[in-house]
Amino acid sequence: MRIFIQVIGDLEEDLVFALGEGLSESFNARISILAPIPPDISCFNPLRNQFNSTCLLRKLKPVKVTLGIIDRDIYADKMNFVFGEAELNGCRAIVSIYRLRSINSRVTEERLIKEAVHEIGHVLGLKHCRNHCVMRFSNSVREVDMKPVEFCAECKKLLGF
């Protein structure tokens, strides 16, 4: 498998590198980091001071698997915010580091990797899982911290791991 990481805006190189290593380990994948692109201003909602995640997702090139990473707050329709969004059985996913940041850089990296693995899981066809699994839905940073970075046995089986 090959995963393309598309940085949207500015992100620290060490964070992107850590993400690439985490994804490589989780999926046994080759990672390609694409040149950064600016966030598409047409996706920005000034009333919310947030970017629409679905809009940003659709701006990514549909190359399987492409993961967009942004350091801005994002939301989806009918949600106050989202950590990320993905096309179920599609090609593209996006994760925002905005609400995942911690004063501890290792915690930030771990949260980012968990949410990126989660969203790529959706791209690969997985839905939310109720087990102790990275595919468990997270509605808060605390819930992100509580879940593992790994897939449960059931999700691994669905992925053919």
Across 16-34, b (16+ Cβ under 10 Å) vs e yields bebbbebbeebbeeebebe
* Alpha-carbon span 73 to 146, nearest angstrom: 22
Decide if 147 contacts 108 (C-beta within 8 A): no
**Edge-to-edge, what's the strand order for the sheet holding 74-75?**
44-45, 50-52, 74-75
Decide if 72 contacts 51 (C-beta within 8 A): yes
Peptide bond into 141 cis (omega under 30): no
Annotated catalytic residue, options 85, 109, 110, 119: 119
Is position 119 annotated as part of the catalytic site?
yes
Active centre residues (catalytic): 119
